Amino acid sequence: ASDSSSMEYAEDGTVKVKIPAVSQDGAVENLADFMTGVRDVRNADMQAAAESIYNFLDNISDANDLMRCLEDFEKTGNGQIILDYNILKSILTDDQAAKFFAAAHSNGVKIIAAAKDGAMTESEAKSKAQELYKAGFDGYFYKETKEKRTNDAVSIYDFALASKVDAGFVEEFTNSQSLIEKMRETRGAKILINSEVVKAINNDRSMPDKTNFIAVLKGVVLLGALNKDVNTEEFVRGAAYGLKYDLIPEMKGLSDKEIALALQAKSAADIVKMMDISETHPIALRLSMISSGVKDAQKAETLQKAYLESIAERTLVSRAVAGAIVNKTLEKALGKTLMINALTGNTAESEITADAFKEQIKQTLTGVKKKDYDAAYTTALQNGLIAKVNSLAEAAFTNKDAAALATIAELIPAIADVRFNFKMDKKTNGGFDKKMIESLLSAA
């Protein structure tokens, strides 16, 4: 990466850049490329920032409360919900719950299971894991201590990636400025209590502050609030997956295995050379952002390698899938799978072919009216894929089980929702299919 340029986020979320030295003849062209690269980095970082915010939907006792909370979430949410699983069970039938999760998953919204007063204990969560992923949840929220809502060892476990992130509650904020301060003080993923966000927004009658609140939670100000997090491993991996898919290097002439081995053996600088990208490419700019923002050279190299590993996972994904996978978690699970398979030379057979899996899904739809069949099939297929990946992830990623890895590599490319022009933005992040939800909850 070039050290002649650098970028960072100011406290208000604006990008501060050091313009690279450019030759006399190519100055304008290079500068235009550089600024395009900066925008691409910021957009990818915005996606990573959104993924680090979770909204805990509290104070729900019936379908009307849930509808109200989802309306709040649409205004302030960033694509991740934490919800008491007992509440859903009491409000919705199994069929309605399946449609509820489908409405979330079709827009990339993740739903994490919790207990009523917050996190479950780790043992409680593990004992319920199978029930939760079969229901449609994407993970669970737990802590090692029993105290209600403490920040000690609070974690979010992601079923599809068989991994956890540390998290903390963002509390005691009264306006947009104190919200930013509290977010900066909270380590790891940030958990916002829905009732507290709504209360703080309604307490301040001034329209500018209400607008500022939304800007902090869903706009560029979020990058300012999280500017201490942007050079952490979790964040840079999210940023790599947030980059537009047509910016991912092809690494032509290199096999999957050669790429995987290079990531283990070579330095970040050598891997960049293998990617064959310009100095104004967003990948090069993001690497220089890490090197200028992290003083410890060894730590900077580790972060750069983590970022490049996630970029290379996406290179492998691009060889398996034509287009952008809408569900980012499925894309990450596939990237992780293909990288392990490349390293181990996995030749195991999938537990089930994609065609046989689709047939299994069709068997569950007997009795569905013809006019409703296509929509019901799409919903059941995507929900079924997520549930299947969730059920295989621990065996695949923790135990490196060859058949589980082969099954994920078979099913996601063949079944996941893929679009050529899809990008997550603040409109799709946190969005539900509103008509589906309204009809669903009015029937509950």
pLDDT band at 1; cut points 50, 70, 90: very low
**Longest Cα–Cα distance in the chain:** 71
Rounded Cα distance between 33 and 396, Å, is 40
pLDDT digits over 288-329, tens only?
999 999 999 999 999 999 999 999 999 999 999 998 998 889
pLDDT band at 428; cut points 50, 70, 90: very low
Structure tokens at 35: 């600024």
Contact (Cβ atoms closer than 8 angstroms) between residue 282 and residue 247: yes
Question: Beta strands 53-56 and 15-18: pairing type?
Answer: unpaired
Contact (Cβ atoms closer than 8 angstroms) between residue 79 and residue 108: yes
pLDDT number for residue 28: 46
Using a CB cutoff of 8 Å and minimum separation of 24, what contacts does 347-353 make? Answer: 348/402, 348/403, 348/405, 348/406, 349/403, 349/406, 350/403, 350/406, 350/407, 350/409, 350/410, 350/411, 351/403, 351/404, 351/406, 351/407, 352/407, 352/410, 352/411, 353/410
Of 259, 269, 413, the residue nearest 343 (C-alpha): 259
Rounded Cα distance between 406 and 408, Å, is 6
Residues contacting residue 380 through CB under 8 Å, at least 6 positions apart = 98, 361, 364, 365
pLDDT number for residue 399: 96
In this prediction the pTM is 0.90
- CA geometry: angle at 113 spanning 107 and 117, to 5°? 130
The answer for 108, left when phi > 0, alpha when psi is -120 to 50, beta otherwise, is left
Contact (Cβ atoms closer than 8 angstroms) between residue 210 and residue 201: yes
Contact (Cβ atoms closer than 8 angstroms) between residue 57 and residue 196: no
Q: Does the structure show a pLDDT above 60 at 430?
A: no
Rounded Cα distance between 223 and 216, Å, is 8
Mean of pLDDT values over 204-233: 80
pLDDT digits over 150-195, tens only?
555 689 999 999 999 999 999 889 888 899 999 999 889 999 999 9
Q: Does the structure show a pLDDT above 70 at 256?
A: yes
DSSP state at residue 394: I
Question: Beta strands 80-84 and 110-114: pairing type?
Answer: parallel
Rounded Cα distance between 168 and 183, Å, is 9
pLDDT number for residue 3: 46
Of 168, 201, 180, 250, the residue nearest 9 (C-alpha): 180
Mean of pLDDT values over 204-218: 71
pLDDT number for residue 2: 41
pLDDT digits over 89-112, tens only?
888 888 888 888 888 887 778 999
Rounded Cα distance between 426 and 407, Å, is 33
User: Rounded mean pLDDT of the chain?
Assistant: 87
Rounded Cα distance between 405 and 76, Å, is 36
pLDDT number for residue 330: 94
Rounded Cα distance between 253 and 43, Å, is 30
